[in-house]
Structure 1
Amino acid sequence: MNIHGIRHDLLLLLLEMGRDSHPNEFVGLLRERDGIMEELNLLPGTVGRGDSASLLYTMMPLDTHVAGSAHSHPNGVLRPSSADVNFFPRTGKYHLIIGYPYGKDNWRCFTADGEPYDLEVIA
């Protein structure tokens, strides 16, 4: 699976979720179609706290279109922590970090090993 973009509407939703859950983190799974991230799945049992968010791996769908995850960093740091780098491979290949103050440029995409990845925003 090669991801090259994210739908603009999905990105706006993720930024809004960051604002709404602040000062706690949120986390969800991203689904793709034809190489474009299009949908967010929120899993039952997900917990968001001020310093972390977690989900139940047993609630993950058996779905070949799960591209990765999205979660927020209320501290505004747009880099993965060591906990993020441990989490990423368990939930897919591509991961978005949404950061405070949750404006249109307050997000980044990373590969499962924590390396930055360029992602096109698609209308």
Structure 2
Amino acid sequence: MPDIKIKRELLMILLELGKSSHPSEFLALLIKNGDTIDEFELAPGTITGSSSARYQPDMMPLGTGISGSAHSHPSGAIRPSDADLRFFPAVGKYHIIIGAPYTEDDWRCFFADGSPCSVEVID
């Protein structure tokens, strides 16, 4: 049984965001409704570069239901960095990392502690 579900359409959008942002990272905040991640918000005030993406948490609107994050690793590494492991707990439970070349196989989900999270992709 998966830990969480994600809408295929949302996953495809996140992969495209990674591709279109390359060689810089992108950062999005994930929204979960029920047991499914089905929305995202681009974090306001995000500063991106080739090795990091940062946002201003005090600029987030209240009550958005943020349950995690998604960001890209232009290097193609789809595992949490030390910086990711410091960031994850402040943003929610589920964290998707998308790596170059941004195909349907180039992503993984992790819990806030960096351990793998199983995800079912649904239509």
Q: Once the 2 structures are TM-superposed, how far is the Cα of residue 64 of structure 1 from its aligned partner? A: 6.3
Classify the secondary structure of the residue corresponding to 2:104.
coil
Q: Deviations over 1:68-108 (max 9, x none)?
A: 00000000001000000000001101100000000001000
* 1:112 alignment partner AA: A
Number of the residue aligned with 1:20: 20
1:8 and 2:8 correspond: yes
Cα separation, 1, equivalents of 2:60 and 2:107: 24
* 1:118 alignment partner AA: S
Counting aligned pairs with the same residue, the percent is: 52
Residue segments in structure 1 that go unaligned for 5+ positions in a row = none
Classify the secondary structure of the residue corresponding to 1:10.
helix
The number of aligned residues is 122
Cα distance change on mapping 1:21 and 1:64 into 2, 3 Å: closer
Q: Once the 2 structures are TM-superposed, how far is the Cα of residue 65 of structure 1 from its aligned partner? A: 2.3
**Moved beyond 6 Å, runs of 4+:** none
Q: Deviations over 1:1-29 (max 9, x none)?
A: xx610000000000000000000000010
Classify the secondary structure of the residue corresponding to 2:67.
strand
Number of the residue aligned with 1:52: 52
Superposed CA RMSD in Å reads: 1.4
Tell me the TM-score normalised to structure 2 length.
0.95
CA contact (8 A) 2:47 2:54 kept: yes
Trace 1:84-103 onto structure 2 (pairs within 5 A). Answer: 84-103=84-103
Number of the residue aligned with 2:70: 70
Tell me the TM-score normalised to structure 1 length.
0.95
* 2:111 alignment partner AA: T
Classify the secondary structure of the residue corresponding to 2:95.
strand
